[in-house]
Structure 1
């Protein structure tokens, strides 16, 4: 009970540049009852070579799986499905766990077994090619994701689904918890909330955290236990420069799944938004029917 297995899940794809540093941080963990689950989406660089060498030189179980690419969410889910641990601890191929990260997160679960997820603050590692005024602005905006909330004590935030009811819930930043490398949760929670939504590309992490938070409290440890790397090839930056963008459906998810929890002003705003959408849909459908009738008449 006091030394339960933690599965460190590492979804990979062409991550050779920073992967060794991430794996070294796994080796340095003070908590020793761990396994590593690596799910690779057909990397073409030296990712699998690095992973294989890592497996050969560790004292804990390391499983390496190849995965047919179906999007990042599918690879995350594949990691979870292969995991044997009581807890799932994500580590992305370019991030780093601090030495006591897993130990401190497991301790939180011992003290607060009712929670659905534990997270921590994070530091930033800025790749030299990303050092710019724009990056500094981003960090200033997103560094403290819990700034709207009060500390339960000096060591943590204890968040419940009441945060959905705050008027500021949609202000500034959407993710109130953190990136996947910052969190740990019990594997068995997937039985009640499911897995990551593979249709989503950008918001699938905090959409999942909120699914958990809707049912169980979340604790955020008030100190960085991971380092999140900002570099030009990370998925977030790539998605921003392509047509992959699902931020525009975030309000649809809130309206469908969280409406009853939201502040009245946010409900009103969403109602107005969806009312306009419905009017537009009816207009487009009416035009479609009219055009279809004209075409059918012309073809007779």
Structure 2
């Protein structure tokens, strides 16, 4: 199998050398490394040029104005010359058998296309830090090939994939669904996988093959962005119709996405309220239009009521001072 490794990079100069080294030490080497420098204003461009001279695997770099990680991923897919794409976020690492394990699984299952993800470590390579340790959903689908609806229904219950660093997929299938949504600056891999699985088989390996590292600059730390991105993804995907779009979800999956968009809409309102109470209450009212199920309406109303009570309580407490 020929594989292109793609690294989106924004101000990742302190991570680039380790990331590229983790690719060069693979027991199954990719054909190429593509680094998309997404408008970095640190020393990333200089470091990339140095790595081109030292890397065992040929490196192609693309410099662009900052458009966000989704756009950078799409540029990487478009630039790649291989049939398969494997992502590595610049601040993460692949373990040495990442590609070999996936290639062997694909060959054993006769997969010539599709998506293969894997378990991974969070912050430290230790059994206690395996992402899927406490996920009964992930463990229920380990090491087997799934069709669209089964995988999508489980992913909507819990996003155990967690990071694009775990993903290897066929380029043609990614192009078929239009790649990543460039509007999204968070949870873009969740949205991409949901759409990708409409037309392709998916597998999740139980073996942890990557290390995801958290630090102060992670976008995943932005809870407001997290809730809104999931809400937006589900709302947009619910509207897809088979006759007019490249992807189409079953009625069961659309129902699960409607449930999720309601949950994440309420979560987003909570985040806005914690920043500014008046704005939060206004957003709560606005998002009532998205509540299409009884459970979603009740949960949203309960959250709204609690926020009104808190606002009144704070006002009374201030007036007594």
Looking at structure 2, the residues matched to 73 and 109 of structure 1 have their Cα atoms a distance apart, in angstroms, of 26
CA contact (8 A) 2:132 2:139 kept: no
- Residue 277 of structure 2 is matched in structure 1 by none
Q: How does 1:70-219 map to 2 (within 5 A)?
A: 70-112=67-109, 113=111, 116-125=114-123, 143-144=132-133, 147-148=136-137, 151=140, 156-163=143-150, 166=153, 170-171=156-157, 173=158, 175-219=159-203
- Alignment partner of 1:9: what SS? strand
The residue aligned with 1:256 is 239
Match of 1:25 in 2: 22
TM-score, length-normalised on structure 1?
0.74
CA distance in 2, matches of 1:14, 1:187: 26
Which blocks of at least 5 consecutive residues in structure 1 are unaligned? Answer: 127-135, 281-300
* RMSD (Å), alpha carbons: 3.4
Distance in 1, matches of 2:80 and 2:134, equals: 29
Provide the rounded CA distance (Å) in 1 between the counterparts of 2:95 and 2:212: 11
* Higher RCO (CA < 8 A, seq sep 6+): 1
Matches within 5 A, 1:208-247: 208-237=192-221, 239-240=222-223, 245-247=228-230
Aligned residues: 258
Please state which structure has a larger fraction of its residues in helix.
2
* Alpha-carbon separation, structure 2, partners of 1:145 and 1:196: 29
Shift in Å, 1:150: 5.5
Q: Which runs of 5+ in 2 are unaligned?
A: 241-248, 266-286, 293-321
- Please give the secondary structure, in 1, of the residue aligned with 2:56: coil
Deviation digits for residues 225-247 of structure 1, max 9, x if unmatched? 1111111112222x437799323
Alpha-carbon distance in 1 for matches of 2:216, 2:167: 23
CA distance in structure 2 between the aligned counterparts of 1:40 and 1:75, rounded to whole angstroms: 8
TM-score (norm 2): 0.69
CA–CA distance in structure 2, aligned partners of residues 253 and 96 of structure 1: 32
